[in-house]
């Protein structure tokens, strides 16, 4: 045991010169060792929160997990020392680690839905670590869990533990996982992107719950995220990481208000550009009229009487939280889900409601880009085939002529030479999405439906994709139907906006109209829930909002 004097002297978590390696298996080459984290040092004082921030591949999660001496698949800690409570945990062996994990250090993962065992009740899983470590009796643990449920703002705290994971919403599950992490009274909790998979409106509730729980229980925390605005709300200090190296480390106030490094400045100022609204020309390329749709065997209308219009070369942003029917609207327009009532007029022609009844011209002029670029491309086709197929299919281009056009398109998406023979697995996330854009452009469409095309990407990469889309719009005069839950993206790209809530369009008009007060309650909630890079923003929003989130 460590005496009280030592505790006061030493920080709770002290990582010195951490180096982490992984063995990678690049296709067609010999396996090689890659260094993921290059000599990062950090300390966390008792009861303080350190935010780790960076793009994907920056090593945030890897560093976070190293505080429990854990390396995910093939990842190993190859150098440095990790002290928890003054003890070097790398020297404790397997037994030492078992005593550490789930007792002194606990973990909250990004996807609670994937982390809970679907066959066990919540309570059983929340108290499991406390019982295994013999920290308290079952009754004590359950009483503590109920207390935590209450503190985290879960409905029916006495009985919610009897439910199975699928019986609660995503936001509630994320809070249940936080309760699970806090139950054994740990000294340190690692939060790994705990709100990234949630809607903005749900995110602030979970964020507030986590913040209060940290304050009331006095645990220290590592808070990992790629969203600077989120981490600014909960952290005392922030460390900016890039490619496994530390870029900057300082207090939250210093990082967001007076960043010293160029990279940090780029992160802080991302999303700053505004998009001027285009004047209306009055003749829409697509008119959706009173569309009502439902999925087979579900007796509820997912779309209720939806009417929107898009003008040529304009962007209509459809916003709303998950379950509001945004993507269903896209499926109805593409013909994948034939509407029960209503009609769609595209380019002066009435579109057949189902896919089979549409002409090749209809299909060509209406293209789609997906959220997940890596599953939107066949992994066994090269970039040349992926982009070339629409050229072949719609225009009958073959051989050299086709290859020339493919290269033209690659130039247009700023990828240049040398990519035509690559497979999707050999591209980065942003490049994949660019290839998908090129594929839809190849058809020379009048309208492209963009379904959350930037939400799976890092902020800086997403910014590049948005800029590309806007440039291409100017060049090709193509209209976008832009589905997103991110209002910052909407500001950056939209000419008109439709706000959807529970299958209905609750607010619709030009961007300047929709984003100008007075707001209806839902639009107000949506707008106010977008995290702002400002200290104390979270408390302000919670105090002032007019309605609670539906996904709560």
Partner 1 sequence: MSRIPVSALIGLVMTGAFFFTAIFAQWLAPYGLNEAVGDVWENPFWSSEPSQYLLGTDNIGRDLLSRMIYGCQITILLATASSAVAFLTGSILGFTAAVVGGWVDQALSRLVDLFMSLPSLILALVILSVLNVTLPVLILVMGLLDSTRVYRLARAVAVDIVVMDYVEAARLRGERTGWIIFREILPNALSPLVAELGLRFIFAVLFISTLSFLGLGVQPPLADWGGMVKENKDGLVYGISAALVPAIAIAVLAISVNLVADWILNRTTSLKGGRNG
Sequence-ordered list of residues with C-beta below 8 angstroms from that of 418, at least 6 positions apart, any chain: none
Distance CA 198, CA 323 (A): 12
Helices 399-412 & 429-442 angle (0-180, nearest 10) = 130
Interaction between residue 28 and partner 1 (CB under 8 A): yes
- CB contact at 8 A, 211 and 539: no
Interaction between residue 21 and partner 1 (CB under 8 A): no
Query: How many whole angstroms from its chain centre is CA 38?
Result: 26
Query: How many whole angstroms from its chain centre is CA 355?
Result: 31
Considering beta carbons, is residue 104 or 451 the nearer one to partner 1? 451
Interaction between residue 544 and partner 1 (CB under 8 A): no
- Rounded least distance, CB 434 to partner 1, Å: 15
Interaction between residue 165 and partner 1 (CB under 8 A): no
Query: How many whole angstroms from its chain centre is CA 368?
Result: 20
SS3 54: coil
Interaction between residue 72 and partner 1 (CB under 8 A): no
Q: Count the neighbouring beta carbons within 10 Å of the beta carbon of residue 441.
A: 21
Interaction between residue 396 and partner 1 (CB under 8 A): no
User: How many residues are there in the chain?
Assistant: 552
Considering beta carbons, is residue 45 or 362 the nearer one to partner 1? 362
Considering beta carbons, is residue 45 or 374 the nearer one to partner 1? 374
The binder of partner 1 chosen from 144, 175, 439, 446 (CB under 8 A): 439
Interaction between residue 370 and partner 1 (CB under 8 A): yes
- CB contact at 8 A, 406 and 388: yes
Interaction between residue 384 and partner 1 (CB under 8 A): no
Residue 132 dihedral angles phi and psi, to the nearest 5°:
-60, -40
- Rounded least distance, CB 72 to partner 1, Å: 17
Rounded to a whole number of angstroms, the distance between the first and last alpha carbons of the chain is: 43
Distance CA 174, CA 433 (A): 29
Which residues, 397 to 426, sit near partner 1 by CB under 8 A?
Answer: 423-426
Distance CA 287, CA 350 (A): 9
CA dihedral 486, 492, 495, 500 (to 10 degrees): 10
Bridge pairing between strands 366-369 and 447-451: parallel
The binder of partner 1 chosen from 368, 391, 487, 500 (CB under 8 A): 368
Interaction between residue 377 and partner 1 (CB under 8 A): yes
Interaction between residue 358 and partner 1 (CB under 8 A): yes
For the chain, the C-alpha Rg in angstroms (whole number) is: 25
Residue 145 dihedral angles phi and psi, to the nearest 5°:
-65, -45
Q: Count the neighbouring beta carbons within 10 Å of the beta carbon of residue 243.
A: 14
Distance CA 183, CA 202 (A): 23
The binder of partner 1 chosen from 7, 136, 372, 468 (CB under 8 A): 372
Considering beta carbons, is residue 363 or 515 the nearer one to partner 1? 363
Interaction between residue 295 and partner 1 (CB under 8 A): no
Considering beta carbons, is residue 358 or 434 the nearer one to partner 1? 358
- Rounded least distance, CB 35 to partner 1, Å: 23
Interaction between residue 395 and partner 1 (CB under 8 A): no
Considering beta carbons, is residue 454 or 549 the nearer one to partner 1? 454
Contact stretch for partner 1 (CB under 8 A) within 124-132, 249-257, 263-271, 363-371: 363-371
Interaction between residue 481 and partner 1 (CB under 8 A): no
Considering beta carbons, is residue 288 or 427 the nearer one to partner 1? 427
Interaction between residue 337 and partner 1 (CB under 8 A): no
The binder of partner 1 chosen from 132, 266, 355, 535 (CB under 8 A): 355
**Interface residues with partner 1 (CB under 8 A)?**
25, 27-28, 334-336, 355, 358, 360, 363-364, 367-368, 370, 372, 375-381, 389-390, 393, 423-426, 439, 443
């Amino acid at each position: 045991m460590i005496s009280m004097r030592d505790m006061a002297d030493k920080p709770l978590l002290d990582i010195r010169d951490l180096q982490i390696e992984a063995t990678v298996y690049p296709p067609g080459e010999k396996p090689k060792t890659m260094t993921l984290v290059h000599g990062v040092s950090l300390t966390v004082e008792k009861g303080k929160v350190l935010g780790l921030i960076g793009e994907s591949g920056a090593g945030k999660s890897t560093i976070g997990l190293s505080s429990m001496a854990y390396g995910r698949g093939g990842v190993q800690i190859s150098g440095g020392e990790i002290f928890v409570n003054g003890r070097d945990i790398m020297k404790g062996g397997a037994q030492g680690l078992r005593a550490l994990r789930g007792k002194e250090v606990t973990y909250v993962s990004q996807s609670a839905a994937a982390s809970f065992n679907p066959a066990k009740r919540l309570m059983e899983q929340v108290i499991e670590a406390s019982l295994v470590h013999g920290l308290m009796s079952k009754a004590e643990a359950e009483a503590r869990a109920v207390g935590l449920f209450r503190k985290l703002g879960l409905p029916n705290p006495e009985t919610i533990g009897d439910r199975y994971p699928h019986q609660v919403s995503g936001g509630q599950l994320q809070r249940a996982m936080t309760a699970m992490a806090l139950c054994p009274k740990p000294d340190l909790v690692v939060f790994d992107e705990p709100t990234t998979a949630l809607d903005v409106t749900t995110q602030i509730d979970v964020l507030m719950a986590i913040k209060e729980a940290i304050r009331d229980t006095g645990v220290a925390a590592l808070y990992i995220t790629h969203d600077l605005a989120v981490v600014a709300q909960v952290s005392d200090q922030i460390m900016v990481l890039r490619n496994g190296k530390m870029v900057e480390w300082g207090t939250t106030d210093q990082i967001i208000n007076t960043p010293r490094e160029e990279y940090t400045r780029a992160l802080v100022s991302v999303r700053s550009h505004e998009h001027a609204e285009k004047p209306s020309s009055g003749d829409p390329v697509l008119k959706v009229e009173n569309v009502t749709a439902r999925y087979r065997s579900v007796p509820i209308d997912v779309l209720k009487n939806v009417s929107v219009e898009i003008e040529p070369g304009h962007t209509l942003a459809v916003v709303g939280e998950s379950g509001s029917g945004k993507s269903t609207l896209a499926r109805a327009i593409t013909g994948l889900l034939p509407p029960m009532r209503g009609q769609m007029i595209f380019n002066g022609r009435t579109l057949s409601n189902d896919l089979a009844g549409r002409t090749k011209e209809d299909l060509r002029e209406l293209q789609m880009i997906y959220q997940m670029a890596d599953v939107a491309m066949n992994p066994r086709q090269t970039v040349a085939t992926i982009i070339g197929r629409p050229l072949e299919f719609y225009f009958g281009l073959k051989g050299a002529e086709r290859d020339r056009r493919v290269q033209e398109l690659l130039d247009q998406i700023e990828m240049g030479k040398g990519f035509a023979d690559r497979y999707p697995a050999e591209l980065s996330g942003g490049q994949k999405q660019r290839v998908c854009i090129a594929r839809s452009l190849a058809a020379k469409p009048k309208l492209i439906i963009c379904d959350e095309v930037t939400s799976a990407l890092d902020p800086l990469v997403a910014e590049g994709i948005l800029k590309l889309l806007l440039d291409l719009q100017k060049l090709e005069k193509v209209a976008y139907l832009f589905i997103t839950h991110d209002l910052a993206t909407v500001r950056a790209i939209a000419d008109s906006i439709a706000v959807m809530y529970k299958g209905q369009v609750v607010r619709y008009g030009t961007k300047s109209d929709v984003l100008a007060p007075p707001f209806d309650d839902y639009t107000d909630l949506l707008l106010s829930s977008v995290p702002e890079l400002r200290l104390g923003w979270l408390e302000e929003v919670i105090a002032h909002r007019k309605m609670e989130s539906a996904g709560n």
